Structure formats: structure tokens, C-alpha cells
Amino acid sequence: MTKPPLTVYLAAPRGFCAGVDRAIKIVEMALEKWGAPVFVRHEIVHNKFVVDDLKAKGAVFVEELDDCPNDRPVIFSAHGVPKAVPAEAARREMIYVDATCPLVSKVHIEAARHHENGLQMIMIGHAGHPETIGTMGQLPEGEVLLVETVDDVAIVEVRDPARLAFVTQTTLSVDDTADIVAALQARFPAIVGPHKEDICYATTNRQEAVKAMAPMADAMLVVGAPNSSNSRRLVEVGAKAGCAYAQLVQRAADIDWRALEGIATLGITAGASAPEVLVNEVIDAFRDRYDVTVELVETAKEDVEFKVPRVLRVPA
Ligand code: 0CM
Ligand code: SF4
């Protein structure tokens, strides 16, 4: 039986970013250095496949430091942690390694600097996301106000409108965040902040590629996890850019074949925490059913790399 033709538009850049790559390597290095078990506070990156692979090598994933014994090393995830977490680990004399992405650490430093200058902080982010919890946790309780939407900006109660600064989560929608920043600047003209926002290069580039790909595709799949903020934003960006069906899939088994009946073009991308093997698994599943031609939709080239410490040092 002949297979129907399908053009697959493959977004570039897609998949692993420099921060994810570094965080995974840090866990692997810790396992080599200290042997199993090594504890990891929170999923090192938001991907079950990555986590399961590290579990098989001897990593133990927990949500809180309280769930770790004193005498085994613990690694903090790429999303960052409140200041109280390393402080507690030090108090318990634990070996800990911080795998926070340097681009998240940069936001932590910004927030601390504004606070030292006497400015009240507003964070644009999603409530409950570990990165938001980590960034807000750089300052004393109650010092950072969270806004999630333009509507929140209208009701946020600040100490002094003349002494304000903002930071953002790194994995937000570029367009939605621009609207929130504009609303903040309209209500608080003196507010201080980054040039645009703190969204990272990887988030920005993956959204740009989706914007180029989505209008050409009958349907679009984003390989990524439901708890991955940057992956979920890619689905939203795809739908907003005009793709009639944009869906998140963790791997090939999640594909809803019935929903895809009759398509002639398909866009595929992957969140910053999704390994390329899962992208290939999804493409292969389409090859089983269609005569697939792959076309790359490349909107940027990335060469960002973050150094992994050569030796994992135990904090003094
Ligand atoms: O922040 P997000 O939920 O997108 O995390 P992730 O693990 O899916 O992606 C990488 C990162 C960071 C910080
Ligand atoms: Fe760092 Fe951005 Fe990757 Fe998050 S998505 S780990 S901020 S490079």
C-alpha cells in the first residue's frame, strides 16, 4: 500500500539549550565522582525521559532538601532555588552542587542588586513554577511581588511607585511578556528593568522558529513535558501564529493519530529540555504511516555553551 505524502517542517533551533546540557552533565559528573546515590532536588530539567535515564544511573530525585540524607551529595536543578536552600544544605554540612542555569543566576543577581539599591521588586512569572519560587526566594519573604498577566499589573499594590524594578522568568512567551512590561511601564513610568525582559536566548529562538513554521503547517507537535514552561509556550505560540492544531507530546506514543487525519504538512519542534532522540522517535512514527519529506525551518544558529566545572567543588 502506498503511503500518503507528508512534509515535515522541522524547527531549528529546537531541543536542548546550553543550560539543560550543563545541568545534565553536572549530575553525570557527580555520579562519577561520588558514586550512587546522588540526590537531585526537583527534576534536573523538566523531562521524564532525562530523569529516568539519570535514575537508572543512580540519581535519586526528591522535591525537598528534607528528603535528602546529610551524608549524600545533592544537586539543585537548572531552574534555581531560593537562597534558603543552599543555606540549609550548608547548615547540615551537606555536599551540594548548584546546577542552576547561569542565565537564571543572572536574574537572581539582578534582583539582589535592585533590592540593595532600595527598589521593590516585581517579578513577571508563573506562580508555583520552581524558577519563580527560586528567583523570588533570593529576597526576603514579601519583598518580591508576582504578576502573571496584564490584569495583575492593574491591581498590584506597591510601596512606592517611584522605587520599583522588575525581573522575569526566563521561559515566558516573548509577546505576552512584552505586553505585561508595557503595562508596568505605563502604570509605573519610573520602573527599572532589563533592556526588554529576562527571557533567555533559547526560549526566544525556539519561539521565533515556531512563528516561521506554524503558518505553513496543518498541524504542529511540540516534543516536551507538561510541566515544562518553555515547551508549553511553544504550543501557545504555534496556535497564535495560525496553526490550527498545536499539541504537546512527550513522545511518539502520545500522538493522537485521529486528530491528524488528512494533514499534508506537519511542524515539529522540541522544548529546551526535550532530547533529540524523542524528536527522532516522533519523526520515525510518521515515517511508518506517511511518505515523509523533512524540510528544516531554520531562523537562527546557536553556539551558546556553558562551561561545566572541571571538578565539582564542595562549597566551603
Ligand atoms: O522552566 P521550564 O519549565 O521551561 O524548564 P525546563 O526544564 O523544561 O527547561 C529548561 C530550563 C530551565 C531553567
Ligand atoms: Fe537556561 Fe534558557 Fe535553557 Fe532555562 S531554557 S536552562 S534559562 S538556557
For residues 65 and 113, state if they share a domain: no
- Write out the catalytic residue numbers: 131
Q: Which of 22, 32, 37 lies closest to 100, judged by CA?
A: 22
For residues 114 and 91, state if they share a domain: no
Indicate which residue's Cα is closest to atom 9 of ligand 1.
273
Any domain includes 313:
no
Any domain includes 236:
yes
For residues 210 and 280, state if they share a domain: yes
pLDDT tens sequence across 220-277: 999 999 999 999 999 999 999 999 999 999 999 999 999 999 999 999 999 999 999 9
**Where a domain ends, among 132, 152, 187?**
187
Q: Which of 167, 229, 205 lies closest to 43, judged by CA?
A: 229
Please check the confidence at residue 292 and state whether its pLDDT lies above 60: yes
For residues 242 and 294, state if they share a domain: yes
Count of structural domains, the chain = 3
pLDDT tens sequence across 139-168: 999 999 999 999 999 999 999 999 999 999
Which amino acid appears at position 52 of this protein?
D
Cα diameter, the chain? 71
| DSSP for residue 192 | B
Q: Which of 277, 259, 296, 237 lies closest to 47, judged by CA?
A: 277
Domain that holds residue 41: 18-98
Asked whether 230 lines ligand 1 (CB < 6 A), one says yes
CATH number, domain with residue 255: 3.40.1010.20
- pTM > 0.95: yes
Ligand at minimal distance from the CA of 21 is 2
Any domain includes 157:
yes
Which atom of ligand 2 sits closest to the CA of residue 101? Answer: 1
Which atom of ligand 1 sits closest to the CA of residue 169? Answer: 1
Asked whether 133 lines ligand 1 (CB < 6 A), one says no
Any domain includes 196:
no
Asked whether 250 lines ligand 1 (CB < 6 A), one says no
CATH number, domain with residue 44: 3.40.50.11270
Cβ contact 108:80 at 8 Å: yes
Ligand 2 centroid from CA 21, angstroms:
9
For residues 25 and 80, state if they share a domain: yes
Q: Which of 112, 224, 126 lies closest to 173, judged by CA?
A: 126
309 pLDDT tier (thresholds 50, 70, 90): confident
Any domain includes 280:
yes
Any domain includes 315:
no
